[in-house]
Amino acid sequence: MENAILNLPADQEQMVWLIDFHGFNMSHLSVKVTKETADVLQNHYPERLGLAILYDPPKFFEPFWKVRWHLRGKKKILNLREAI
């Protein structure tokens, strides 16, 4: 994350994250790692996310993203499965 921030143009503060879930399944899910990652991103980089693009997200993410969509705002998260 720090390297990505250092490589941003001087007038740019936010990033676009492309998250590729192709081949992802429940066996890849670690609650501990997920919580730690969310904690670091929320507490240390809260304004860095300009847009998150989810490529091929698994079906079991849908309830989470629907709740997140309403709480966070529709500008931040794009599910490519729904966009295409």
Least confident of 45-49, 56-60, 62-66, 71-75: 71-75
Least confident of 20-34, 49-63, 66-80: 66-80
Model confidence pLDDT, tens digit, residues 23-58: 888 888 888 888 888 888 888 888 888 887 878 888
For residue 15, give the H/E element and its range: strand 15-20
Is the CB of residue 54 less than 8 Å from the CB of residue 30?
no
Say which amino acid occupies 54. L
Q: Which residue has the higher pLDDT, 15 or 53?
A: 15
